[in-house]
Amino acid sequence: MSSLVPGTTATLMRRALEAATTGLVHHGGPFGALVADDQDRIVAVGVNVVILGSDPTAHAEVAAIRRATAMRRSYRLADCTLVTTCAPCIMCTGAIHWAGIRRVVAGARASDAQAVGFVEGPLGFDAAAFLRARGITYEVDVERDASITLLRSYRGPTY
């Protein structure tokens, strides 16, 4: 999915939340993400389908990155922002780094996901610190209340 209309950071987060909500309706996990270009135009959207697709790598961030790289026919997304409804787990953090994404915007914190039963990485893992140490801008708490509400609405298994 691509959008020609640029959005603000909050608008982009609301779009990621809408995607995650739609994913929940279709029995996906409570996570959504999108990749936007340097003009804040949506390049790709992803939702969590780990349980639905029997694929432990089918996180929203990875899905959005895969779609964006396929659309661009390049493994590099250096001019892009990843907007995610929750702080990325350790796997998604690695994918963000390897894709060359320069900015990440997160809604809920890892502790919010952990509070409802999700394990985001080994004890003490800090996605924000890892990304910032690599020169990647990391913003958190954008639409956090809505992101937490989404997490709390999930009734499926956690992992």
Catalytic residue IDs: 61
DSSP result, the chain: ---SS---HHHHHHHHHHHHHHHHHTT--S-EEEEE-TTS-EEEEEE--HHHHT-TT--HHHHHHHHHHHHHTSS--TT-EEEEEE---HHHHHHHHHHT--EEEEEE-HHHHHHTT---SSTT--HHHHHHHTT-EEE--TTHHHHHHHHHH--S---
